[in-house]
Amino acid sequence: MKSYIEERAMEIAKYIIDNNTTVRQAAKHFGISKSTVHKDCTERLAQVSPGLAAEVRKVLDVNKSERHIRGGMATKEKYAHQHV
C-alpha cells in the first residue's frame, strides 16, 4: 500500500474519532467519496494500525445504530418546513 494512502487512512480515522463524525461528514471534510472513507477505515486501517481501526469501528457502529433516528429527524425537519 502506498504511504500516502496509509497517512490518509490515519488522518481520516483520527478526524472521525476526535469529532465523532459520520462517514459522510468525513468524506465531505476531506473531499473524497464515502466509499473511499469507508474502505480506508475498515480495510486499509486494519493493516496499518489495528488499535486505531478498532476505535474507529466503535464510532462507526454507534453511527450505524443511530442512522434510522437521524433519517427520521431529517424527514421530520423536511416536512416541518413545507407549507401545505
Q: What DSSP assignment string belongs to 11-33?
A: HHHHHHHHHT--HHHHHHHHTS-
Query: For position 2, what pLDDT does the model report?
Result: 86
Out of 15-24, 39-48, 54-63, 75-84, which region has the weakest mean confidence (pLDDT)? 75-84
Task: Answer yes or no: pTM beyond 0.85.
Answer: no
**Predicted confidence (pLDDT) per residue in 26-64, tens digit:** 999 999 999 999 999 999 999 999 999 999 999 999 988
Query: For position 81, what pLDDT does the model report?
Result: 85
The 10 Å Cβ neighbour count of residue 47 is 11
Cβ-Cβ contacts under 8 Å for 6 (sequence gap 6 or more): 44, 48
pLDDT of 84 > 70? The answer is no
- Here the cell at position 55 is 476505535
- DSSP 8-state secondary structure symbol assigned to residue 2: -
Average pLDDT, the chain: 91
